[in-house]
Structure 1
Amino acid sequence: VQVNNDNSRTFALKILKKHHIVETRQQEHIMNEKKIMSESRSDFIVRLYRTFKDRKYLYMLLEVCLGGELWTVLRDKGSFDDATTRFYTGCVIEAFAYLHNKGIVYRDLKPENLLLDSQGYVKLVDFGFAKKVGLGRKTWTFCGTPEYVAPEIILNKGHDISADFWSLGILMFELLTGSPPFSGQDPMKTYNIILKGIDAIDFSRKISKNAQNLIKKLCRETPSDRLGFGRGGIREIQKHKWFEGFNWDGLKKRTLKPPITPQVKSATDTSNFDDYPDEEDDPPPDDVTGWDRDF
């Protein structure tokens, strides 16, 4: 969408069916998403500018990222080299540093939820599973994408920000090889493979020794053993040998050149996204129960 007829100022508009949210009992997740995103101010998190609602839909006016999903780029390239993976992982680490500092656990890391802006920097989007847990506290909701779910979530032991470090290791593995380490034919099979642990996984030759070392340190079975959860915090990850020589300051200031610059011809160019057919369904029924009063 754009402001009046100004083609140079564009936004993304996320439209959600209220009836579907109620049917799938996602009300609390949606309210969490709105609150966390509207309060977030980070170059590595998609901005939520405004929200609107009517009797049928909720609307979220978001910062537009015209480079498309990182998942699409990964699918087209097959896998990334160390330097490319390091850049994208670095962007996620900066987003996590911001969120974890506020006591927020993200819980839905995957390449589909990382959008490239027109410069090629990556931003976190889709905060439906994010939750303010508070520092040193745990939460018990089962959520996330099967291949990325930490063992303590599967075992319903309670989880905290360390679940995000687990998923960071999974992301690194997927970016370097093209597929996640734990994958079964259905979610239950995937969970069983996850519970066998990272040491049961054969690492591809594409993964360097230092990258393998970092992935294994992020994907420790015991949450408190994971790199990033110790006294040094997220800096423990930034100081790991795999990141040696990486320009964190340049990343933060956005002066570091991204490994891939998307082709974006104008502020209305959506060609980096896959085409989805417009929904032909009848409009959803009204929802006036008032659960979204504060949306």
Structure 2
Amino acid sequence: MIPSTPHKKTLHSILASKLKLTIPSPSSPDSLDFSDVFGPLTPHHHKASPSSSSPSSSSPCVALGDPQVIHNRSHSLLGPSPRFAVTAPLLPFKEDMVFQSEGSDKEGGDEVGEGRVGPGDFEIMRVVGKGAFGKVFQVRKKGGPEISGDSDGIFAMKVMRKDTIISKNHMDYMKAERDILIKVEHPFIVSLRCSFQTNSKLYLIMDFVNGGHLFFHLYRQGIFSEDQARVYIAEIVSAVSHLHKSGIVHRDLKPENILMDADGHVMLTDFGLAKEIDESSRSNSMCGTTEYMAPEILLSKGHNKDADWWSIGILLYEMLTGQPPFTHANRQKLQQRIIKEKVKLPSYLSSEAHSLLKGLLQKEPSRRLGSGPTGGDEIQNHKWFRSINWKKLEARELQPKFKPDVSGKDCTANFDQCWTAMPLDDSPAPTPTAGGHFQGYTYVAPNPWLSS
């Protein structure tokens, strides 16, 4: 039975007197309005602005459910190539702070609750990247539960819109990115500290790597010497070998997805296209950035971890010459060059570099260096890496010749002003009506100090 209006007023009065509360009338200027949190009383749908959900590349997906093929070079979701920073005031999040508790809703599942980390525990400092599904912020932890790696409180927060992810049918890729980051721990791979979600967004909290992108440093210098490139490629080979041993293929290796820390070591990031593949399996997805895509991907022959070794060959060639070996303004002609043309190796490179590039850039994946039973060890044993002590390298004891100019833990001088000058608010997004897509997304990394 629904009580009458006078009866409800009586109940309110009794409750207020018992709790010693003053409840303002709805017409009072001091009345409480929760419409900004819970929405209006009458349900309605909001349409996201086209600009807020537009992908970073205008090229369509090859097929529904496949990740996007990047036809134009674009920046990683962990931040773009850097130039200089601007100063801006810190702002709190303006996120839709409606969280469900465990099992309370088909869509939410494991949302933020008491004792959990959420957007309100972070203060936005800078925008450091923007991509197809949202933004990446530099943030400072301001309260709430402690999370691993919280020594200075500075993190990168990757925020992705659920409605855009669902509309592009990329739910599996977003969940795979989180699962892979949880599974992987390596000195040259960016660490995931925690993940959570709200009604409308997914959040990944990662270490903030402030030395800038390899992309920026490469294009500022023009080319790297073989000695300088050797350390970078060795660290990348070490990271990718670890991924492959864990059954993971990255599939989007390029300078924009390789960060540099304050000590000059490289850090692999952006696992949005990564996939878990066992030794006998192949993926038929057309994905990646065209200049770095292996011929077997372009030919839709099915690919596995060997495709990553091709991309590393392209990376090495670009480091030593200043551009990828295959370029063309026309996408179809670029693809044909990758499939058919022989790689032209500059005469000024050493014979060891020639040998390594020829091995990595074999068009036939079964003949490619790294495709054998020993995998990455085959590459590490190549004569070009003769001077590398791999144990010291993985202990971060080999010091790179170049260190980026970093003034502190919160320095963003190595990130492009096109991002750092953006408004700092985490803009609202509509809540998808479909449920159950992101069940079990929440994760908090264990504290190593508490581990046995």
Question: Partner amino acid for 1:248?
Answer: W
The corresponding residue for 2:439 is: 293
Conserved in 2, the CA contact under 8 Å of 1:177 and 1:207?
Answer: no
SS for the counterpart of 1:8 is: coil
1:42 to 172, 186, 195: 186
Q: Deviations over 1:53-89 (max 9, x none)?
A: 1122211100111101110111111110101111110
SS for the counterpart of 2:152 is: strand
The corresponding residue for 2:357 is: 215
| Aligned residues with identical type, % of pairs | 38
1:143 positional shift: 0.4
TM alignment of 1:1-295, pairs within 5 A: 1-4=139-142, 8-197=152-341, 200-275=342-417, 276=419, 277-278=421-422, 283-290=428-435, 291-295=437-441
Structure 1 length normalisation: TM-score? 0.94
1:240 positional shift: 1.0
Question: Partner amino acid for 1:170?
Answer: I
SS for the counterpart of 1:147 is: helix
1:205 positional shift: 3.8
Seen in structure 2, the aligned counterparts of structure 1 residues 282 and 96 have a Cα distance that, compared at 3 Å, is closer
1:285 positional shift: 2.2
Runs of 4+ in structure 1 displaced over 6 angstroms? none
Quote the Cα distance in structure 2 between the aligned partners of 1:293 and 1:281. Answer: 23
1:203 positional shift: 2.1
1:288 positional shift: 4.2
SS for the counterpart of 1:169 is: helix
Quote the Cα distance in structure 2 between the aligned partners of 1:7 and 1:40. Answer: 21
Conserved in 2, the CA contact under 8 Å of 1:16 and 1:57?
Answer: yes
1:8 positional shift: 2.6
Seen in structure 2, the aligned counterparts of structure 1 residues 237 and 284 have a Cα distance that, compared at 3 Å, is same
Question: Partner amino acid for 2:162?
Answer: K
Quote the Cα distance in structure 1 between the aligned partners of 2:375 and 2:401. Answer: 27
SS for the counterpart of 1:287 is: coil
Kindly report the root-mean-square deviation, in angstroms, between the aligned alpha carbons of the 2 structures: 1.8
Q: Deviations over 1:111-143 (max 9, x none)?
A: 000011111111110001111011232111110
Q: Deviations over 1:143-166 (max 9, x none)?
A: 011000011111111111111111
Structure 2 length normalisation: TM-score? 0.62
Conserved in 2, the CA contact under 8 Å of 1:111 and 1:171?
Answer: yes
Quote the Cα distance in structure 2 between the aligned partners of 1:107 and 1:171. Answer: 13
Structure 1 window deviating more from structure 2 (203-212 vs 129-138): it is: 203-212
Quote the Cα distance in structure 1 between the aligned partners of 2:381 and 2:206. Answer: 33
How many corresponding residue pairs?
293
Quote the Cα distance in structure 2 between the aligned partners of 1:123 and 1:59. Answer: 20
- In structure 2, the gaps of 5 or more residues are 1-138, 144-149, 442-452
Quote the Cα distance in structure 2 between the aligned partners of 1:176 and 1:138. Answer: 31
Structure with greater helix percent: 1
- In structure 1, the gaps of 5 or more residues are none
